[in-house]
Structure 1
């Protein structure tokens, strides 16, 4: 067997375990309530040990947030693939539109997770922490596209943060909207409103 194939197989197994733990966390939280699930219960549901859980996630909140983290990482990759000539906000908006088209309507598990987030302060705090790291990464992409000076990186960070807030507000509004309301119809308006100071 080739040695180059082994890391790929290991990474696939790690990704599968991480997904299994995330799925188990969301499933248990949805069925029994966030306050009633434990790390041990999530590990059992996924068929792994408590120690294995700790190798992948630091808490049940982190396991629950993994889906959101993955989606935002995919969005950042979409921003990176935009033409270098696009302004920062144009690239962010176009990447969001493209990502939304690929994503389609959120699956029931994602909707259930969104409702859980709004109901529990601990999950909101975990979301803020997750997005703080993503914000820095996104700000670096914004900075690379800026034509004006931004020595402290203030404008780049503000642009990234505003973009992520617009997406989060859109999702929360969509969860309250009548069934059948397209998520992008809300997100597009939110991004256009938020982007007035960054175009």
Structure 2
């Protein structure tokens, strides 16, 4: 409608829409993940995750979250994107954490506690992603830091920034594990 009001012909409108779509196709890929997650959930991912956790003896929600934090940081080190909140945490990690808590206490968990567990696993995702991604030399955060230092006429290499990020990532891992105990 906007194109017609601005006196654009139909071919120009279609051309503009097509170019915008192609230029921003990564946004379209993100939109595709939501129906995919819905389909996966519909066909029992949540149920299978819960069943897996119930089979493992002695597993706790804290241990699952600690292992996930470690995996998330290692994935950041290798620049592997394993998803995020909508693609991985909500459909897979949260049901596993909830199942472990239910198995440990052998009863239904209060809604308030369910929300706390959701927030906690989301925090592990944020910690692991935020502090783990700067361990990779080619990460955008590392390159931004290097560019900022260069603009201030300070010579810094991306490898140095990644190495200086390692102690923080280790501290976050330790704090996260303590928080999960």
TM range (shorter): 0.3 to 0.5
Higher-Rg member (1/2): 2
Q: TM-score, normalised to structure 2's length?
A: 0.44
